[in-house]
Amino acid sequence: MTYCLAIRTETGIVFASDSRTNAGVDHISTYSKMNIFKLPGRLFVILSAGNLATTQAVINRVQRDLEEPESALSLATVKHIHDAAKYIGKINVQAQTEHANPLERHGISAECSFILGGQIEGGTHDIQLIYPQGNSISASSSTPYLQIGEIKYGKPILDRVLTAQTTLEDAARCALVSLDSTMRSNISVGPPVELSIYRKDALEIAQHLSLENDSPEYVAIKDAWGCGLQQAFDQLPRFVWEG
Amino acid sequence: MTYCLAIRTETGIVFASDSRTNAGVDHISTYSKMNIFKLPGRLFVILSAGNLATTQAVINRVQRDLEEPESALSLATVKHIHDAAKYIGKINVQAQTEHANPLERHGISAECSFILGGQIEGGTHDIQLIYPQGNSISASSSTPYLQIGEIKYGKPILDRVLTAQTTLEDAARCALVSLDSTMRSNISVGPPVELSIYRKDALEIAQHLSLENDSPEYVAIKDAWGCGLQQAFDQLPRFVWEG
């Protein structure tokens, strides 16, 4: 499993992802799920969840379309973020179809989801969730985040804290807390945690962190959150019969 | 969907459940999922999740086995909590089987899960999770809680706070926070929230609350938790580049 999320605020985008992949509990590996494409006049980040062979096939195809000048369509030529999502969606469906029959015979799903975010010069910054079926949705101003993979454990804190006006640093802290909550409750999501901050109109990543469980800045946030939660819990009102 | 949980500490058991049932988003109703059986020398609480017709059939059968003196087995005659779980598991499988074929033809699952908890005089207090297949597991001292239904949203706070030494009132507050987090993130879980506290060896429920969203004591806990979380979030350490 996997847990990735992107948060779009008025001032930019935060991307966060775990790095655990597994094929059964006895086959666990570490792979980055955050792919950054810095191109002339545009920046894209792609987060991936699902069958690792499919995600690698998709990212490989995206990379080759950029390298081969005869490609009709690539991240370098799409005109809008939504077109980029459509392009990734199409590649995703093709990659799944290629090995679908033998995979299905073994009861294995080839499905993948992606979050694509970024900005094309002259356009607005945006994030899109691309489903295994190739279609996609954007975030909204009232729900400024998108998630893929193991999304439930880390959702409550996003629902409580995030708005379109949240600062990028607060959004980044919220993403780290959301990932930490997920990793504590589900062993299929694991470190290192990758975090990227994109400030709108910059067309490049402002900050990129890869945090191990024992990275001092990640430990500081986890410890402070644990203490703060315990404090919040200890301060809950007593029941009437407790006097 | 549904969210129910039970927490077994050294001093007793906390039971909590939501009350929303739905067959599609346009058919939402309110049903209690907490059934309390106070019998001579024993007390049982049954929490239910899954197909409403199956859970009603199971509870109805449990009730009739108690009323009909010719019943070979009932909650009044089982000797251990584990035997009670086995008895509920068997009824559960029978109830699912009865309508399985027509339900499957319509793509509807008859499956149900239960949490059974309580105490039989002379025995220890315990909780058991009964799977749709009829088998069951108990909580452990290191994982002192059991959940059924929509379990993921509310799990992180349980993992952080609960131990076998937690007081029953703290466990009850933790259960309310866990339910509140779930209801905020998932509309298939809804009020009223029922909460029962069982103190070991009492053989009766010490406290039973049914809390609507606007019940003053529930509002007080939700507000205090929201403020405490925001405070915890605001106190998280800054990133190095924030100076």
Question: Could you tell me the domains of chain B?
Answer: 3-235 (3.60.20.10)
- B230 contacts A237? CB cut-off 8 A: no
According to the model, what pLDDT value does residue A210 have?
A: 96
- B159 contacts A236? CB cut-off 8 A: no
Q: Which residue has the higher pLDDT, B71 or A38?
A: A38
Chain B neighbors of A226, CB-CB under 8 A: 160
Shortest Cα distance, chain B CAs vs residue A163, angstroms: 13
User: Residue A133 has which token pair?
Assistant: 């079926």
Work out the burial of residue A230: count CB atoms within 10 Å of its CB; fewer than 13 is exposed, 13-18 middle, 19 or more buried.
middle
According to the model, what pLDDT value does residue A83 have?
A: 97
- The per-residue pLDDT of chain B, averaged, comes to 94
Pairing status of strand B145-149 against strand A12-17: unpaired
Q: Which residue has the higher pLDDT, B89 or A25?
A: B89
Chain A neighbors of B238, CB-CB under 8 A: 169
Q: Least CB-CB distance to A232: which of B159, B181, B232? A: B232
Shortest Cα distance, chain A CAs vs residue B226, angstroms: 8
User: Taking residues B21-26, what's their average pLDDT?
Assistant: 77
β-bridge mates for residue A4, sequence order: A17, A148
Residue of B145, B151, B239 for testing the chain A interface, max A β-carbons within 10 Å: B239
Residue A24 has pLDDT above 90, yes or no: no
Residue of B14, B229, B242 for testing the chain A interface, max A β-carbons within 10 Å: B229
Residue of A160, A219, A225, A233 for testing the chain B interface, max B β-carbons within 10 Å: A233
Q: How far is CA A12 from CA A165, B126, B143, in A?
A: 10, 51, 41
Measured CB to CB, residues of chain B less than 8 Å from chain A are 152-157, 159-161, 169-170, 172-174, 177, 181-182, 184-185, 207, 217, 220-221, 224-233, 235-242
According to the model, what pLDDT value does residue B187 have?
A: 84
User: Residue B176 has which token pair?
Assistant: 């309310």
According to the model, what pLDDT value does residue B1 have?
A: 80
- Report the alpha-carbon distance of residue A159 to residue A148 in Å, rounded: 15
- Report the alpha-carbon distance of residue A51 to residue A30 in Å, rounded: 14
Shortest Cα distance, chain A CAs vs residue B132, angstroms: 23
**Sheet of strand B126-130: strand arrangement:** B34-39, B42-50, B112-120, B126-130, B136-138
Work out the burial of residue B160: count CB atoms within 10 Å of its CB; fewer than 13 is exposed, 13-18 middle, 19 or more buried.
middle
**Gyration radius from chain B CA atoms:** 19
Task: Confirm if B114 and B87 have CB atoms less than 8 A apart.
Answer: no
Q: How far is CA B32 from CA B19, B49, B50, B153, B164, in A?
A: 5, 11, 13, 21, 27
What is the distance between the terminal CA atoms of chain B, rounded to a whole angstrom? Answer: 46
Q: How far is CA B137 from CA A23, A198, B8, B71, in A?
A: 26, 47, 13, 26
**How does residue B120 score in pLDDT terms, banded at 50, 70 and 90?**
very high
User: Taking residues A89-97, what's their average pLDDT?
Assistant: 95
User: Taking residues B166-171, what's their average pLDDT?
Assistant: 98
Neighbour tally for B68: CB within 10 Å: 9
Q: How far is CA B134 from CA B62, B82, B84, B90, B125, in A?
A: 15, 12, 12, 6, 21
User: Taking residues A128-155, what's their average pLDDT?
Assistant: 95
Find the closest chain B residue to A150 by CA distance: B152
| Residue pairs between chains A and B whose CB atoms are closer than 8 Å | 118
Residue B178 has pLDDT above 80, yes or no: yes
| b/e burial code for range B186-225 (CB count within 10 A of at least 16 → b) | bebbbbbbbbbbbbeeebebebebebeeebeebeebbebb
Instruction: Supply the DSSP string of chain B, one letter for each residue.
Output: --EEEEEEETTEEEEEE--EEESSTT-EEE---EEEEEETTEEEEEEEEE-HHHHHHHHHHHHHHHH-TT-SS-TTT-SSHHHHHHHHHHHHHHHHHHTHHHHHHTT----EEEEEEEEETTS--EEEEE-TTS-EEE--SSS-EEEEES-STTHHHHHHH--TTS-HHHHHHHHHHHHHHHHHH-TTS-SPEEEEEEETT--SEEEEEEE-TT-HHHHHHHHHHHHHHHHHHHTSPPPGGG-
Q: Which residue has the higher pLDDT, B212 or A25?
A: B212
ipTM of the complex: 0.91
